[in-house]
Amino acid sequence: MLDDFMVRAALAGIGVAVAAAPLGCFVVWRRMAYFGDATAHAAILGVALSLAFSMSIFIGTMVVALLMALTVSVLSGRGYAMDTLLGVLAHSALAFGLVAVSFLSGVRIDLMAYLFGDILAVSRGDLAVIWGGAALVVLLIGWRWSALLTSTLNEDLAHASGIDPKQEQLVLTLALAITVAVAIKVVGVLLIAAMLIIPAAAARPLSRTPEGMALAAGVIGTLSAIVGLRAAYVFDTPAGPSIVCVAALSFLATSLIRNFRPAA
């Protein structure tokens, strides 16, 4: 079954959707869209370092994404506006990564594949990494779900309940780094944030509970991956961007449903 490249691509897309769904909800609730974007941009530097030191792309991108997220967390609130800090770090990391790649002699690298994804080239080994990372993210978020919700709702309430909001932020940071590392092969650096944010945003009008929103985001992300791959096959368009386009259309559809829904 896994000899069919479209089946492998579909399984990879579903794996990324599973990882991105619960994490994307917290990104939306906490208004961390630019934070996720900055972490994703740093992944290119991780790719360059991985190739330079002949180590796993997954490990390199995860470590650099984690370092970027931790740097943002440490520097925020120290005289830098958050949007300015994220803009500087995100674009600097991307630029340094692209420059570093150009210095790698004897290494052939398709930058477009890392920028926009190459889901059709996913191998069995890639699938194992993607689904292993997705399972880790789901287990991590599920383990800290109640504490994460409380600290997201109100930090004072979290402190009163014996929950450390900074620790929960680190949990999200780790989950984000893992998601970036597993998604880079599927949708690429420039579209990872879209797969985090758009399905979660599309699920919001359809949900009455946080758990319902996470589940709906997973369904929307999964359908976006499958339909986007089919559209890419039929219309001969790039697979990663096609998946994001389908997710964007789902966001438009649920927004229209919310706007035209009769008031209770």
Residues 6+ apart with CB under 8 A from 29: 152, 210
**Contact between residue 42 and residue 67 where contact means Cβ atoms under 8 Å apart:** yes
Q: How many CB atoms lie within 10 A of CB 68?
A: 28
Tens digits of residue pLDDT in 41-55: 888 888 888 888 888
What mean pLDDT, rounded, does the chain reach?
A: 87
Q: Which amino acid is at 44?
A: I
What is the C-alpha to C-alpha distance for residues 102 and 109, in angstroms, rounded to an integer? 9
% of the chain with per-residue pLDDT over 90: 41
Nearest residue to 179 via CA among 26, 4, 30, 76:
26
* Structural domains in the chain plus CATH codes: 5-256 (1.10.3470.10)
Nearest residue to 177 via CA among 123, 136, 210, 224:
136
Q: Select the more confidently predicted residue: 20 or 35.
A: 20
Q: Select the more confidently predicted residue: 115 or 133.
A: 133
Model confidence, pTM = 0.89
Tens digits of residue pLDDT in 160-192: 889 998 888 888 888 988 999 889 888 888 889
Please report the pLDDT score of residue 261 as a whole number: 64
